[in-house]
Chains A and B, each alone.
Chain A
């Protein structure tokens, strides 16, 4: 069976290093030419907010890292609809290249991959 990886990122962008280190894992996986999906769930959906301004924290801006994903072959970011709804986030507030997955689609989506890396 050919391998594929689903990176599941569940942490807010500037709550510790978890979000950054999940993105690193996605980039490494894709750079090994393993088919790689990035799925944002829970507070991970906050990583998609437009207009992140991090100079006062100060932290490296993670949304800049999202922009480079297509260069690694990750053309779209998968997002859990329920997590967006629970946090009152609207699609127009978010990064452009996303694919929203409804509640019923998640298990099947994750199952399509041979390995899931949960962050």
Chain B
């Protein structure tokens, strides 16, 4: 079965990215397909490269990145939601003349249309953190 996953909560204030990662691992382990990951609302904070949780706590942004890269998943971060919350890639940093960029490798900034596109491509859209 084809799944699309939407994540709306941030690692520091929601269980959503953790639950979504558990679910995503189970999807892959059972031989199903993840056709799109979409990070929206506060979920965009999952994709920041500069969060540094204490060493005795799980590093969720890192775990997500490893999972995405290992399985070569299509991981999209909503560009409008990300810009609002300070998650930018190099191109956006240059466009807005920002001093830094912090989007992790493995993710792509794109429009909200990718959420709809993912929902329509998939047999099931599973939302975390609504």
Contacts and interface: CB of A to CB of B under 8 A. Distances in A.
A115 B125 contact: yes
Interface residues of B, number: 18
B112 A25 contact: yes
Contact of B115 (A3, A10, A25, A116): A25
Contacts of A16: 42
Contacts, number: 46
Given A21-B41, A115-B125, A117-B125, A28 B80 contact: no
B128 to A, nearest CB: 10
Contacts of B112: 24-25, 28
A11 to B, nearest CB: 9
A18 B43 CA distance: 11
A24 to B, nearest CB: 6
B119 A17 contact: no
Contacts of B80: 24
B88 to A, nearest CB: 17
Which of the listed residues B113, B115, B119, B127 has the most CB atoms from chain A within 10 Å of its own CB?
B119
Interface string B69-80: 000000000001
A116 B120 CA distance: 10
Contacts of B115: 25, 28, 117
Interface of B: 6, 8, 40-42, 80-81, 84, 111-113, 115-116, 119-120, 125, 127, 130
25 contacts: A3-B120, A10-B130, A18-B41, A21-B40, A21-B41, A21-B81, A24-B80, A24-B112, A25-B40, A25-B115, A28-B112, A28-B113, A29-B116, A32-B113, A32-B116, A34-B116, A114-B120, A115-B119, A115-B125, A116-B125, A117-B6, A117-B115, A117-B127, A119-B41, A119-B130
